[in-house]
Chain A
Amino acid sequence: MSVPALKAGQVDTRHGTILYLEDVSVSFDGFKALNNLSLYIGAGELRCLIGPNGAGKTTLMDVITGKTRPDSGSVFFGQTIDLLQMDEPAIAQAGICRKFQKPSVFETLSVFENLELALATDKGVWATLFARLNGTQRERIEQVLETIGLTGHRSRPAGILSHGQKQWLEIGMLLMQEPQVMLVDEPVAGMTHQEVERTAELLLSLRGERSIIVVEHDMEFVRSIAQRVTVLHEGTVLTEGSMDEVQNDPRVIQVYLGD
Chain B
Amino acid sequence: MLLNGLKNDKVMASVLAALAAISLIVPLCNLLFAPDSPLYFSAYTVSLIGKYLTFALLGMSLDLVWGYCGILALGQGAFFALGGYVMGMYLMRQIGSRGVYGDPVLPDFMVFLDWKELPWYWHGFDQFWLAALMIVLVPGLLAFVFGWLAFRSRVTGVYLSIITQALTYALMLAFFRNEMGFGGNNGLTDFKDILGFNIQSDAVRACLLMASGITLILALLISRRVINSKLGRVVTAVRDQEMRVRFLGYRVENFKLWVFVFAAMLAGMAGALYVPQVGIINPSEFSPLNSLEVVIWVAVGGRGTLYGAIVGAVLVNYAKTLLTGWAPEIWLFFLGAAFILVTVLLPDGLLGFWRRHPKEQKQ
Contact = CB atoms under 8 A, between A and B. Distances in A.
Interface of A: 65, 67, 87-89, 92-93, 97-98, 100, 104, 106-110, 112-113, 116-118, 123-125, 128-131, 133, 138, 141, 154-157, 173, 177
B361 A108 contact: no
Interface in B237-255: 237, 240-241, 243-252, 254-255
A144 B355 CA distance: 30
Size class of the B contact interface (CB-based, 8 Å): 20 to 34
Nearest to A141: B363
Contacts of A131: 229-231
B358 interface: yes
Given A113-B361, A155-B360, 4 more contacts: A110-B361, A128-B250, A128-B255, A154-B363
B234 interface: yes
B215 interface: no
B236 interface: yes
B15 interface: no
Nearest to A99: B247
Closest CB pairs A-B (n = 8): A92-B249, A88-B246, A129-B231, A155-B361, A131-B230, A93-B249, A157-B358, A106-B237
B356 interface: no
Contact of A106 (B244, B255, B360, B363): B244
B255 A92 contact: no
B255 A88 contact: no
B148 interface: no
30 contacts: A65-B247, A67-B247, A87-B246, A89-B249, A89-B250, A92-B246, A92-B247, A92-B249, A93-B249, A106-B237, A108-B236, A108-B240, A110-B358, A112-B363, A113-B361, A116-B233, A117-B233, A117-B250, A123-B248, A123-B249, A123-B250, A124-B254, A125-B254, A125-B258, A128-B255, A131-B231, A141-B363, A154-B361, A156-B358, A173-B248
B230 A117 contact: yes
B247 A88 contact: yes
A149 B241 CA distance: 24
B234 A128 contact: yes
B226 interface: yes
Interface of B: 226, 229-231, 233-234, 236-237, 240-241, 243-252, 254-255, 258, 358, 360-361, 363
Contacts of B233: 109, 113, 116-117
Nearest to B363: A112
Contacts of A118: 248
A141 B363 CA distance: 10
Nearest to A110: B361
A65 B358 CA distance: 32
Contacts of A156: 358
A125 B255 contact: yes
A173 B237 CA distance: 14
Q: Most chain-B Cβ atoms within 10 A of its Cβ — which of A88, A110, A138, A157?
A: A88
Contacts of B241: 104, 106
A65 B254 CA distance: 20
Contacts of A116: 230, 233
A155 B363 CA distance: 9
A154 B229 CA distance: 18
Contacts of A88: 246-247
A128 to B, nearest CB: 5
Q: Most chain-B Cβ atoms within 10 A of its Cβ — which of A87, A109, A129?
A: A129
Q: Most chain-B Cβ atoms within 10 A of its Cβ — which of A87, A128, A155, A157?
A: A128
